[in-house]
Amino acid sequence: MTAPAPALLPNPKDVRDLIEGLIGKDVTVGAGDPLSLNDKPAVAVYVDPTMATTALVLVDVPLAAWCAGAFALLPKGGLEDAIDEGELSDMHLEVLYEVVNVMAALFNGGGITHSKLYKLYAPGEALPGDIAGLAAAFNRIDLDAEVAGYGKGALSIVLAH
């Protein structure tokens, strides 16, 4: 029996379809610039059954707020305040947790090592050194995303292998 293969980077259409299906709004996704920890994104960490890190999803504050707003039907004004302050409320983080939890599906499939969401770090929260180092890895896809009726933001998906 062969060992399961590591996850492959998802394509932009799969990312768009997943987010659209979850938040119930049209989402446009295209190539973007890499997010770094200097951008103070929320960071979702995914692990395999041995608790080895398999992937990270970095989500900037604007995209996190727009997804939370669309998912929870929040008014745009309050979200703009959160974006201006660079901070997400507990409710925004709860909704973002649901979004990144479902995103684990992007890293799972036939013959691929199963990954699950391990932890979501809030924007600006201190990260363990190994996670911070992985955030700068090159096996990644960097995307801009726009949530219809809300606004634009960015996310980066980084694989550990």
DSSP string, 140-161: EEEEEEEETTTEEEEEEEEE--
pLDDT score for 17: 96
The enclosing domain of 29 has a CATH number of 3.40.1550.10
Domain total for the chain? 1
Exposed / middle / buried, residue 62 (Cβ in 10 Å: 0-12, 13-18, 19+): buried
- 71 in any annotated domain: yes
In order of 73, 79, 80, 88, 129, the CA distances from 84 in angstroms are: 19, 9, 6, 10, 28
- 155 in any annotated domain: yes
Tens-digit pLDDT profile for residues 21-71:
999 999 999 999 999 999 999 999 999 999 999 999 999 999 999 999 999
The pTM is what?
0.92
Banded pLDDT at 114 (limits 50, 70, 90) = confident
Tens-digit pLDDT profile for residues 119-155:
999 999 999 999 999 998 899 999 999 999 999 999 9
Banded pLDDT at 109 (limits 50, 70, 90) = confident
- 5 in any annotated domain: no
Residue 114 phi, psi (nearest 5)? -70, 130
- 80 in any annotated domain: yes
- 1 in any annotated domain: no
Find, among 111, 114, 106, the residue nearest to 143 by Cα: 106
- 28 in any annotated domain: yes
- 154 in any annotated domain: yes
Domain that holds residue 144: 12-159
- 47 in any annotated domain: yes
- pLDDT > 70? residue 11: yes
pLDDT score for 44: 97
Banded pLDDT at 1 (limits 50, 70, 90) = very low
